[in-house]
């Protein structure tokens, strides 16, 4: 069960890191399509924020303490920190790459949940995978050139 707890904590840290990056980009995006980028990034960070509590509660339901500090998230996350302000399309590209990392962590956590017969948690991870696939679609479509 320790492997499932660890993977669920990684999912939580990745979710928070992606939330923070999307919110950062939302604040700082510029350019001719500003409003569209600003709104897309807001939609993504709001969805991630809403999911964060549920992920933490799943960690607690597994009998572990949920990570809840920058240093702990930093240890667990697979998402690179962003300290610069890239151009708008570069923001979208980086967010897409990071979202794909989140999907990978969700698949690993799903496999662990299935192996431990934690079917409700496995279903939760399946739902999160679907949400992140939609995020990927939106981000990929935004990057597509005519």
Q: List the CATH number of the domain containing 134.
A: 1.20.1260.10
Collect all residues with Cβ–Cβ distance below 8 Å to 120 and sequence separation of at least 6.
Answer: none
Collect all residues with Cβ–Cβ distance below 8 Å to 141 and sequence separation of at least 6.
Answer: none
Q: Is the pLDDT of residue 53 over 90?
A: yes
Judge contact between 131 and 51, C-beta under 8 A: yes
Quickly list DSSP for 24-57: HHHHH--STTHHHHHHHHHHHHHHHHHHHHHHHH
pLDDT in tens, 63-105: 999 999 999 999 999 999 999 999 999 999 999 999 999 999 9
End-to-end CA gap in the chain: 48
| Count of structural domains within the chain | 1
Q: What is the span of the domain harbouring residue 96?
A: 2-143
**pLDDT at position 145:** 76
Mean pLDDT value of segment 18-32: 97
What is the C-alpha to C-alpha distance for residues 16 and 77, in angstroms, rounded to an integer?
A: 9
């Amino acid at each position: 069960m320790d492997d499932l707890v660890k993977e669920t904590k990684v999912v939580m840290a990745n979710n928070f890191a992606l939330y923070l990056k999307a919110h950062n980009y939302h604040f700082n995006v510029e350019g001719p399509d500003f409003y569209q980028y600003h709104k897309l990034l807001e939609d993504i960070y709001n969805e991630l924020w809403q999911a964060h509590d549920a992920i933490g509660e799943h960690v607690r339901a597994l009998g572990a303490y949920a990570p809840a500090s920058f240093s702990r998230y930093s240890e667990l996350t697979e998402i690179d920190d962003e300290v610069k302000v890239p151009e708008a399309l570069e923001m979208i590209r980086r967010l897409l790459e990071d979202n794909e990392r989140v999907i990978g962590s969700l698949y690993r956590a799903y496999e662990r949940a299935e192996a431990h017969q934690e079917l409700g948690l496995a279903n939760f991870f399946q739902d999160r995978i679907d949400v992140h696939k939609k995020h990927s679609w939106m981000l990929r479509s935004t990057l597509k050139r005519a």
